[in-house]
Each structure stands twice: as structure tokens, then as C-alpha cells.
Structure 1
Amino acid sequence: MTLYRQLLIVVLLIYGGLLAVVFSIEIGNTRSYLSEQQLSDVNNTSTSLGLSLSPYLEDEDVIGAESVINAMFDSGYYQQISLKLFADDSLIDRRNTRSIDGVPEWFTSLELFQPSAQEQVLTSGWMQLGELKVVGHPGFAYLQLWNAMVDLAKLFVVGYLATVLLLMRALRYLLKPLEQIQQQAKLIEQRNFGQTIPLPHTQELRSVVGAINHMSDNIAQQFESQVQEASALRQQAFQDSVSGLGNRAYFINQSKSWLAESGVGGVALLSLDIIEAIHVRDGFSARDEFIHSVGELFTAYTQQQQQLVFARISNLEFAVLAEGFDQQQLLDLAEEINKDLLSRLATWKQYMPRPLVMGLVLRQKDENIGELLTAADTALHNARELREGFFSLADVEHTHIPRSQWKQLLENTISRQSLAYKAQVVNFIHSDKVLHHELFTTIEVDAQHYAAGQFMPAVEQFRLGAQFDQMVVEQAARALQQDNNLSLAINLTLSAISEASFLAWLVELAQQYQTVASRMAFEIPETAFLQENTQLEASLDSLRELGFQIGIDQYGRNLNSLNYLSRVKPNYVKIDYGYTAQALAEDGDSHFLSAICRAARNLQIITVAQRVENQQQVELLSALPVDAYQGYVAPPQRFTLND
């Protein structure tokens, strides 16, 4: 029971008890007054009637005496008037046995009033003439007492109700700071910090509110410092200070994540030989200025095409990771980069006839990043030997499906609702509980199996994400309705969540399937939060209010600040594989993984490691701030979504 209700009940009970005491005292006083009034009235009646009867009795006029008694009996409200004549022992007796109207029988049965009686002997000199008896009727007293009780009860009830209303308003006003403290505590629990409660006038509550505000500010500052520490640590380890791009270590980490997820695409090495010429002719400042402008250009590329990764891996060389690109897209990218860089060189172009060269390579089989970089470096060397042109493409076997065929295959799959699924369990490290099962999609055509990593680049390129995700989400929701023990996480595509119509559809569908909300999670790539997206975040807030889980995939992949966590407030994050691979390596470093995990844990966000291959790695992760894991230690299993 709330403090407000407790105080209200206690005060009302005390006030009600006081009213009951006052009511009983007032009724008691009224009863005593009516009893005394009745006795006085009987005495007066007996005296006046006796004086009136004496002359008739002296003359032995019985009829006259009877007329006087009748007149007195009819003019008042008496229970009995009787006269016993001593001369002949005759009796004149008048009685009233009627009950008074307007008074409940149960009330008169309480016998609150006893009939008042007065007896006297009528004389003439020394001669006794008769005995007069007057008995008052208590009905009138009952009527007056009942009316007094009803009127007083009405007054007290109205006053009590008015007091209740005033007391409720007063208590709500006085206890408003406590309600605000409760709301602030809930906000802190929900990882919302920094909101200040106005200081109340009550001195005791004023100090409590001040302490709560101070605590909230401190927690917000601690979280901010943790985020800044994690960001600074990542930038120190993975960011080139001059260009603002990632460094070689960052590129290797991103490459590991790419190879672990899809491995479809290509790598390019870009050598800006003109950097050294600028340095020799114009000095360090001009060189760094040019490198910084190149970094800004490449950052703009990544914002426009989120499947691109740029890094400065040496003094003159930059590396490009083009996830999901085919040969033609890679060649078009090289032409675009060359054009944009030449426009930025301005007067520096005169320093060198060919200011940049590029080596390109497509991943065809199962090459690792070392083999791809070696091939790209060889292509870069070949480009330097060319008399014309600025790039060279490493020899590749054309085994990829053309983009046009991918589009047709995807459209057919969506129209036929013919996706195949696998589900991989996500287990908690320190308990036997399961977080959920992540849903993976595959396309099966003519005994060929295409994993999501192979066709998802085409889904994004052809803007089919909204249709694709609608199909997956609807089928998953129906499966959850059929199996109450199932929990699923669904990855949403970037192209889908960038469409307002899809977000509106998703919220509407979530309302229809709210019964499965606690067992359904939506995973959003971290890239979606590099820039503030109020429409997306508002939709996620709506889903969260309905009870659905929100997760962030590829957590920590980008070098941007982690401050978006406090805005988005996800239920869990799935750590980018590059950090996990670095921590689990034989001579690995877990500082970076721990730093980004602590930033999430401070907001009570569950952290999930991906691509965990064996139980030994699970044991290594148990010593780190990681809550859950998934990977080939528990490989994906065939999963059927029944229509």
C-alpha cells in the first residue's frame, strides 16, 4: 500500500472517530434535554389539570371533570391521563396507544426514553377528592431525536466527504515530491539520467530531493565518463589521429567481422604517393591538412554507403573494405574515388603526374584477410607499372551471381514466401537461461543454398529490405503464437528501417501481436545510430512500451561515440566480432572488449559475444564483463516457421 493511501486512511479513521464521538455526545445531550422537557411538560400538565378539576370534584360534577380531562388529553400528546374518584371509586381513563409516524420501529425499540409520569391526590381542604395520574407519551421525543440524528448525520457526512476531498488534494500536493522521487528512481532504473526534480518547500523532503538529484547527476556523469573512456581507448588503439579514419588494427578487426559474417565483396589498397611530395615541398602542416581532407572525403563515403570501411594503414596507403560489392561496383568505386581525390588536389597535382594508384581484389573463395591484402598489394604494384590508368584488378574467377539474377531471385522468394530458416540459441554465460534464438535466413533454389551474407548486399542495393523484413517478421510472429516456449530475435535491414512506412507498419503489427512481445526481439545494426534518427528511435520506443525487446547488432564496430546507448536504451547489444576475436586470440588483448562492455553494463544492457567456437572460449569470456554468447559452440539448427 502506498504512503499516500496509508496517510489518507489513518487521517480519515482518526477524523471519522472524532466525528463519531462528537455525534454520540451531541445525540446524548439532545436525548437528555428531551427527557427533561418531557418530564417538565408532564409536571406542568398535572398541576394545571389538578387545579382545573378541583371545582368540579367539589360539586361532584363528574361530567364536567371528564370534559376537562378530554380537552387536556386531546390538546397534548400523552400516553395516559386517568382520574380515580374516591367518592364512588369510579375511574376516568384516557389512553393513547398509537405509534408516532416518521420514526422507524427499530429506533423506538431501543427504549431510549422511559414514559414520564406524575401522580397527585386532589383535595378540598382536608378532604381527598381523587387521584390524578398523567403519563407523557415518548413518541414526540423519539421523533425529535430521530430528526436531530438525521440532520446531524447529513451534516457530518457532507463535512466528512468535503474533508476527504480536501485531504486528498492536500496529501497529493504535499507528497508530490515523493511521487517525483519514485518516478526519478524508475527513470534511473530505466537508464534515464540527468532529469532534475524541483525542490519542494518541505524541509525534510527538500533534502531528500536534493540528494536524489545529486545522485542522478553523478550516475549520468559516471556513465558519460565510462563512455568517454571507452571511446578514447578505442580511438587511441584504432583511429588514425591525422585523417580521423581507422588505422591498420581497426581495418584488420573490421575485416575479421566481414569474413565471419559474409565474406562477399572486395578489398582495395590506395597509395597516395603525392603525400610525400606535399611534405617535401610544403611541410608537415600542408601534408596533414591534405590527409585530413582525404579522411573527411572517405568519411562522407561511409555515411552514404554504410557497407564501406576506410582506414589509413600506413603513411601513404589507405585500405578500403567494400562489403557485398561485385567487380563492376568495385571498379565504379575506384573511378569515383580517383575523381574526388583529383578535385581535392588542386595545385598539388603539378607535383606528380600520377598522384595515386589503386590495387583491387575480389574475394572469390575462402581467402583470409592476409591473402586478400597480399593480392591487393600485388595489384597495387602492377598499377604502378602501368603507363596509363591508375588501378589494377587482381586476376579473379568470375563465379559470382550477377546482380540482375540476385534481384530476380529475391523478388521470386519474397512473392512466394519461400525463405528457409535456421535458429541459433543465445545462452547466458553464468546461468542455464536462454536469452533467445536468433533467426537466420537462407534461400534454397535447385539444391543450392544461399546464406544471408551472400544475398543481403543485393537486398540493400535494390531496396528490398522492407518487403523482405515484413515477410520474416510476420512469419516469426505467427510461429511465436503457436509455440509459447519459443523466443526469437529478428535482424532488420538498414534499407527497411530507413523507410517511415515500414516503421509505421512494424508498430501496427506489433500492436496486433502484443501477446508475444516479451518473446520477440528486433536487432538493429549499430550503423543506424551513427546519426540521430528521431523517427527510428520513436518507433523503437513504441515497440519497447508494447513489451518487445530491442537489440543492437555489431556493437562497437564504428569509431563514433557510444552515447547513443542512453538514447536508444536497448535491452541487449551484440558485440562486434572483431573485439571478441582480439580478446580470444592466443596473445589477445581484452581491454577494448571490457571497455565497451562496461559502458553497456552501466546502463543495465545485456552484452552478447558472437562467433564463440568452443567451451574454452566460453570460459575465457566468463572472466570478462560479457553476459551471454552465441556461435558455433551451439551451431544454427534447421527451423521451420509454420504458416
Structure 2
Amino acid sequence: MSLSKQMIIFIASLLIVLLLGTFLLNLNNTRSFLEAQLQSHAQDTATSLGLSLSSVADPEDPSSMETMVNAVFDRGYYRHITIEDVDGILIYKKTNPKHIDGIPRWFIDVLSIEAPEAKSLIQTGWMPIGTLTVQSHPGYAYIELWNTAKNLLLWFSLAALVAIFMAMTALKLLLRPLKAMEKQAEAIVRKEYLLQDALPSTTEFKQVVSAMNAMVSKMKTIFDRDARHAEKLQKIAYQDRVTGLSNRVHFEMNIDALLDKNTEAVSGAICLVRIEALKTLNDQYGYLVGDKTVKLIADKLKQLFADEEALYARLNGTELLAVMPSHKAETLIPSAQALSQAMPAILASLEIETAPTQLAVGLIDYEPGTTRGALLSQLDFAVKKANQQPENERYYYQPQDNTPESHLAWQDILDDAIQQQRFILFQQIAYAVNQQIHERELLIRLKDQDGNIHPAGYFMPAAQKLNKISSIDKIVIQLAIAALPQLALQDDEHLSINLSRASLLDEHFTAWLLSLMTPDVAKHLAFEVAETLVTSNPQTISQLMNTLKTRKIRVGIDQFGNQFGNMNYLQSLRPDYIKLNASFTKGIEQDEQTHSYVASLIEMGQTLDIDIIAMSVETEAQVKAFQALGITTVQGYFFGPPKPLMKG
């Protein structure tokens, strides 16, 4: 029972006791007053009638006395009037046998009214000849007492109701801070840092709220400190100080993950820009000007090759690059040409009139399965070719040896696959430390007309270019829902589905998705989005995640920890889980900076009660390294390659 109800019951009980006592006291006083009135009425009648009878009294002829008694009896309300002689022998008695009507018997029994008898002597001269006895009838007294009781009960009931209502209102106002404190405590349990701005006026409540606010502020400070610490470690380990781009270590970690076939990565393009004669510029104008020049070139690179999923890095003092997943190098030629011609404007912005510095830009495509060394060799060859081009045309695109499918061919392939539903779901299971299944990540495969099964990296770049991604997302969701009845998942098992940028930014897609989320479906599905989408579209992602969580659907962030910047958004988004970027796995054993940075991410996630999953784990040593840091769920080829979701 709530405190407010207990207090209301106590106040109501106390009030009822007080009112009941007052009620009974008033009734008793009224009864005493009425008894006194009956005594006075009887005595007055006895005295006056006794004198009257004395003047006409004749013991031998009582008829005159009877006449006078009858006259008085008829004018008043008496129980009886009696005349006796001096020896106590009855001369005459007049009685009223009427019962009291309209009053409950229990009331008369509980509150009995005693009607006293009054006596008076009847005498002739100085000689007593008899005694007159008069007793008033209590009927009117009972009626008066009954009416008084009803009126008192009515007014006391109204007073009690008004008092209880006022007490409830006052308690509601007084205890309102308790409700706010309850919400604040529940928020603390959810690791949400909610402060109460309005302090209660009640001293005790004010002290409690102030203490809770201080605790919440301290907890928020701890999380902010952890977030800043993680950000600082990330910058030290992976960010170039001059340009703000990824350094070579970060590039190698990410490109290795992108080239690893086991990570379900897609093909893409890479642009390498080499700054020629930078040393001459440094010698002429100083290293500060040289650093500013490199920073402006880096900004121009990000501007011309802008993409949410792109990776921008500085390989060394004179080489910058942009990695563009899901892009074809051929489509980036205009950007490469513009970048190769950007140097004069950059020098002019620094008020440098003459300098031999120029830019050479090379473009190549890459495919998962290529080695990093082979990729860098191709880039170096492309840049050398670019240096051989005429001035203002110092860019070079190296086409692939294998001719890719044409735009129209891909259009036909994907349209046919979507229409014929020639997609298959594979799964890669994330296991908890006790070898129990934590979740099953769904991976899409395309089955061509010859029966060959292709991974997402084969067709996703074309699907993105042809705006087919959202349609494929819908197919994945429909196939997953259709498979649920046959999978017989445990209550804590989920199928996790990656949502693309195209789907997330489509309002119709969100409405369509929610229409499918029945309770039985929702409890076994989880949706995750890449960290790049979270940081570039925070409001849209926040709304979607909150909507999904209200339907009891798990939400997660994929490829986490790779974006430079503040991670405080985790406090507001509060995903159910995060999946670490696959690039951290290869360095988790030996690289101390990677180890420290991942440890800070884990600590930050644990502070918010967010599950953390290590990805692309391939060796037992990697599993043990993550477990030593506190990660209890891992996913990757260590447990085997992806397998079909449905058998057969």
C-alpha cells in the first residue's frame, strides 16, 4: 500500500474517531437536556394541577377532579396522571398508551430517555387528602433526539468528506516530490541522469532531492569523464594531429577489415592523393605553412569525396587517401580531376604566390580478398601514372582487369532477384561466454539463375547505386518474420537485422516496418544501424530507436568506436547493445593502444548497462583477450562461417 493511502487511512480514521466522539457527546447532552425538560414539564403540571384540585377536592365526589385531570391531560402530552388518597389507594388514573412511531427501535433501546415523575399534594384547607403524580410522555423527546442525531450525522459526514478531500489534496501536493524522486530513482536504474530542477519546500524532501541530484551529477560526471577519456585515447591512437584524419595505423586496421572476406565487406574505391614538392614548400615558408597546406588539402579531399561511410586517412607526410565503400572508381573521376586542380586555389588562400607544390591523384577499385600490400602497390602505380599526365590533369584511373557488370545488366539482375524472391538468409551466431546463443545476425545472399549463391559484397554496391537497398531490406525482414515459427527461438534469442541508410531515412519504410511488429514478432527481432548513420543523422535515428524500444524491440549500434568525436550520444540513445568495429579485433592481442581504447569503450558501455559484442573474432587468443576486458559475447569465424538460417 502506498504511503499516501496509508496516511489518508490514518487521517480518516483519526477524523472519524474525533467526529464520532463529538457526535455521541452531543447526543448525550441533548438527551440530558430533554430529560430535564420532561422533568420540568411534569413538575409544572403537577404543581398547577395540584393547586387546582385542592380548591375543588371532595373525597366523596371525585368526578370534579376527574374532569379537571382530563382537561389537563388532553391539552398536554403525558404518559399518565394519577390521583391517590393518603393511604395510597388509587382514586383516578389517566394514561396514554400510544407507542412512539417513526423512530427505530434500536435507537430507543440505545438512547433511552427517562421521563421522571412529579408529585404534588392535594389538600382541603390544611388537611392532605391525596397525592397527584404526573409523568410526561417521552415521545416528542425521542423525535427531537432522532432529528438531532440525523442532522448531526449529516453535517459530520459532510465535514468528514470535506476534511478527507482536503487532506488528500494536501497530501498529493506534499508528496508530489516523492513521485519525482521515484522517477529519478527509476532513471538512475536505467543509467539515465535526470536532475530535479524544482526543489520541494518541505525540508526533509528538499534534503533527499538535493542528495539525489548530487548523486546523479556525480554519476554523469563519471560517464562524461569516461567518454572524454575514450575520445582522448582514440585521438592519440588513431588520429593524425595535423589533418584530423585517420593515421596510418587506423587506416591499416580498417582496410584490413574491408579486405577480409569474412567480414561481409563490400567492394569499393580508393583515392590516393600525393603532395609533390611539399618539402620545398616547408623549406621556403616554414612547417606551419606546410601543415596548413596539408590541412586544407585534407579538407578539400573530404569535401570532394564526401560520404558517410568513407574513411579519410593520412598515410605519411605527403599522402592522403579516401576509402569509399560501395563506390566505383570510375564514378569518382570528376572528383579526382577537381582535386588535382585544387592546389593553386589552396596556395592563394595562404597568400603564397609561387611554389612548386602540386597534387597527383590516383583512383582504383578494390575487392574483398585483396591483400593490403597489393592494394598499396596499385595505388602507388596509379599516382605515378597521374604524375605523368599534363598539368591540371594530374589524375589517373586504373580500371580493373575483370570487366564488371554494366549498369543495365545489374538493373536486370536485381529486378529479377527481387521479383522472383531469389534471396536467402544466412546467419552468423554471437555466442555468450557460456557458449549459449546470444543472437543470430542475418546476412543476405543472392542466388543467381544458375543456382550460384553470392554474398552481399557481390551485389550491394550495385543495389545502392540503383536505389534497391530499401527493397532488399524489406525482403530480409519478411524472410526473417516468415522463418520465426520454424526456428523455435528461446525467449532471450533474437534475429538481428542491419538497416541501411536508405531505409532509415524513408518515412514509408518506418511505417511499413512498425505495421509488421506484432508482440510475438517484436520479441525475437533486433535492429541495428551503423555508427556512421547515428552520428550523421542523430535525430532520425533517435526517433526510430525510441519508437522501436516502445514496442519492446531491441536496438543496437554496429561498427562502433570507429568514428572520431564525442560519444555522449549513448546516454540519450541508450541502445540495448553495441558491436565493436571489426578493425579492433586484429590488434586486440598485441597493440597496446588498441587494447586501452577498447577497454575504455567497454567501461563506458558497462556504465550504461549496454551489452557489448566483439566482432570478426577468428582465434581463441582473440576470444580470451576480449573476455579479459569484460566482453562476454563474441561473434566471428572462430565459431564457423555463416550458415543458412533455414535448413534444406
* Same fold, judged at TM 0.5 (above): yes
Q: Confirm whether residue 489 of structure 1 aligns to residue 506 of structure 2.
A: no
Instruction: Please give the TM-score of this superposition, normalised by the length of structure 1.
Output: 0.87
Q: Confirm whether residue 396 of structure 1 aligns to residue 400 of structure 2.
A: yes
In structure 1, the residue matched to 2:307 is 305
Q: Confirm whether residue 631 of structure 1 aligns to residue 636 of structure 2.
A: yes
Deviation sequence 1:123-164 (CA, Å, 0-9, x none): 546877566554443333332222222222222222222222
1:150-189 paired onto structure 2 within 5 Å? 150-189=150-189
In structure 2, the residue matched to 1:566 is 571
Contact 1:324 1:454 in 2 (8 A): no
| Structure 1, 245-254 or 47-56: larger mean CA deviation | 47-56
Distance 1:336 1:441, change over 3 A: farther
Q: Distance in 1 between matches of 2:438 and 2:605?
A: 17
1:116-127 paired onto structure 2 within 5 Å? 116-118=116-118, 122-124=122-124
Distance 1:213 1:122, change over 3 A: same
In structure 1, the residue matched to 2:453 is 449
Q: For 1:623, what is the secondary structure of its paired residue?
A: helix
Q: Which amino acid letter does the alignment assign opposite residue 630 of structure 1?
A: Q
Q: Which amino acid letter does the alignment assign opposite residue 138 of structure 2?
A: P
In structure 1, the residue matched to 2:611 is 606
1:186-335 paired onto structure 2 within 5 Å? 186-193=186-193, 195-259=195-259, 260-301=263-304, 304-335=306-337
Q: Distance in 1 between matches of 2:11 and 2:168?
A: 10
Q: Distance in 2 between matches of 1:318 and 1:26?
A: 99
Q: Distance in 1 between matches of 2:483 and 2:113?
A: 79
Q: For 2:199, what is the secondary structure of its paired residue?
A: coil
Distance 1:133 1:400, change over 3 A: farther
Q: Which amino acid letter does the alignment assign opposite residue 556 of structure 1?
A: G
Q: Distance in 2 between matches of 1:88 and 1:364?
A: 138
Deviation at 1:311, TM superposition (A): 0.3
Q: Which amino acid letter does the alignment assign opposite residue 467 of structure 2?
A: R
Q: Distance in 2 between matches of 1:564 and 1:457?
A: 29
Q: Distance in 2 between matches of 1:404 and 1:275?
A: 44
Deviation at 1:165, TM superposition (A): 2.6
Q: For 2:243, what is the secondary structure of its paired residue?
A: coil
Deviation at 1:292, TM superposition (A): 0.9
Q: Distance in 2 between matches of 1:329 and 1:549?
A: 38
Distance 1:455 1:137, change over 3 A: farther
Give the gaps of 5 or more residues in structure 1. none
Q: For 1:442, what is the secondary structure of its paired residue?
A: strand
Contact 2:463 2:469 in 1 (8 A): yes
Q: Which amino acid letter does the alignment assign opposite residue 427 of structure 2?
A: A
Q: Which amino acid letter does the alignment assign opposite residue 631 of structure 1?
A: G
Contact 2:80 2:93 in 1 (8 A): no
In structure 2, the residue matched to 1:366 is 369
Deviation at 1:556, TM superposition (A): 0.8
Deviation at 1:36, TM superposition (A): 3.1
Q: Distance in 1 between matches of 2:599 and 2:499?
A: 27
| Structure 1, 380-389 or 459-468: larger mean CA deviation | 380-389
Deviation sequence 1:94-132 (CA, Å, 0-9, x none): 23333322x334323435334544566755468775665
Contact 2:79 2:137 in 1 (8 A): yes
Contact 1:80 1:94 in 2 (8 A): yes
Deviation sequence 1:536-568 (CA, Å, 0-9, x none): 423332333343322111111111221221232
| Structure 1, 611-620 or 234-243: larger mean CA deviation | 611-620
Q: Distance in 2 between matches of 1:463 and 1:579?
A: 31
Q: Distance in 2 between matches of 1:615 and 1:73?
A: 117
Contact 1:181 1:197 in 2 (8 A): no
Q: For 1:629, what is the secondary structure of its paired residue?
A: strand
1:122-133 paired onto structure 2 within 5 Å? 122-124=122-124, 132-133=132-133
Give the gaps of 5 or more residues in structure 2. none
Q: For 1:608, what is the secondary structure of its paired residue?
A: strand
Q: Which amino acid letter does the alignment assign opposite residue 361 of structure 1?
A: I
Q: Distance in 2 between matches of 1:152 and 1:585?
A: 89
In structure 2, the residue matched to 1:556 is 561
| Structure 1, 516-525 or 52-61: larger mean CA deviation | 52-61
Q: Which amino acid letter does the alignment assign opposite residue 286 of structure 2?
A: G
Distance 1:364 1:440, change over 3 A: closer
Distance 1:87 1:624, change over 3 A: closer
In structure 2, the residue matched to 1:509 is 515
Q: Distance in 1 between matches of 2:163 and 2:481?
A: 53
Cα RMSD for the two superposed structures: 3.5
Distance 1:628 1:100, change over 3 A: same
In structure 2, the residue matched to 1:461 is 465
Match of 1:539 among 521, 544, 569: 544
Q: Confirm whether residue 356 of structure 1 aligns to residue 359 of structure 2.
A: yes
Distance 1:275 1:580, change over 3 A: same
Q: Which amino acid letter does the alignment assign opposite residue 469 of structure 1?
A: D
Deviation at 1:529, TM superposition (A): 2.7
Distance 1:67 1:440, change over 3 A: farther
Deviation at 1:47, TM superposition (A): 3.6
Q: Which amino acid letter does the alignment assign opposite residue 645 of structure 2?
A: F
| Structure 1, 225-234 or 561-570: larger mean CA deviation | 561-570
Q: Which amino acid letter does the alignment assign opposite residue 581 of structure 1?
A: K
Q: Distance in 2 between matches of 1:115 and 1:449?
A: 111
Q: Distance in 2 between matches of 1:433 and 1:212?
A: 39
Q: For 2:618, what is the secondary structure of its paired residue?
A: coil
Distance 1:345 1:93, change over 3 A: same
Q: Confirm whether residue 94 of structure 1 aligns to residue 95 of structure 2.
A: yes
Q: For 1:521, what is the secondary structure of its paired residue?
A: strand
Contact 2:423 2:447 in 1 (8 A): yes
Deviation at 1:210, TM superposition (A): 2.5
In structure 2, the residue matched to 1:45 is 45
Contact 2:269 2:365 in 1 (8 A): yes
In structure 1, the residue matched to 2:426 is 422
Q: Distance in 1 between matches of 2:76 and 2:522?
A: 82
| Structure 1, 399-408 or 554-563: larger mean CA deviation | 399-408
Q: Distance in 2 between matches of 1:7 and 1:200?
A: 19
Q: Distance in 1 between matches of 2:333 and 2:355?
A: 26
Distance 1:212 1:60, change over 3 A: same
Distance 1:232 1:589, change over 3 A: closer
Q: Distance in 1 between matches of 2:94 and 2:341?
A: 133
Q: Which amino acid letter does the alignment assign opposite residue 155 of structure 1?
A: W
Deviation at 1:209, TM superposition (A): 2.6
Q: Distance in 2 between matches of 1:476 and 1:609?
A: 23
In structure 1, the residue matched to 2:77 is 77
Deviation sequence 1:290-340 (CA, Å, 0-9, x none): 1111222233356x4123211001011123222122342354553343345
Length, aligned pairs only: 635
Distance 1:384 1:299, change over 3 A: closer
Match of 1:525 among 519, 530, 533: 530
Distance 1:529 1:364, change over 3 A: closer
Q: For 1:356, what is the secondary structure of its paired residue?
A: strand
Distance 1:614 1:20, change over 3 A: farther
Q: Distance in 2 between matches of 1:362 and 1:87?
A: 140
Deviation sequence 1:401-429 (CA, Å, 0-9, x none): 43443344444444555542233333433
Distance 1:545 1:87, change over 3 A: closer
Contact 1:364 1:397 in 2 (8 A): no
Distance 1:341 1:329, change over 3 A: farther
Distance 1:118 1:629, change over 3 A: farther
Q: Distance in 1 between matches of 2:272 and 2:22?
A: 96
Deviation at 1:377, TM superposition (A): 2.6
In structure 2, the residue matched to 1:139 is 139
Q: Distance in 2 between matches of 1:580 and 1:120?
A: 120
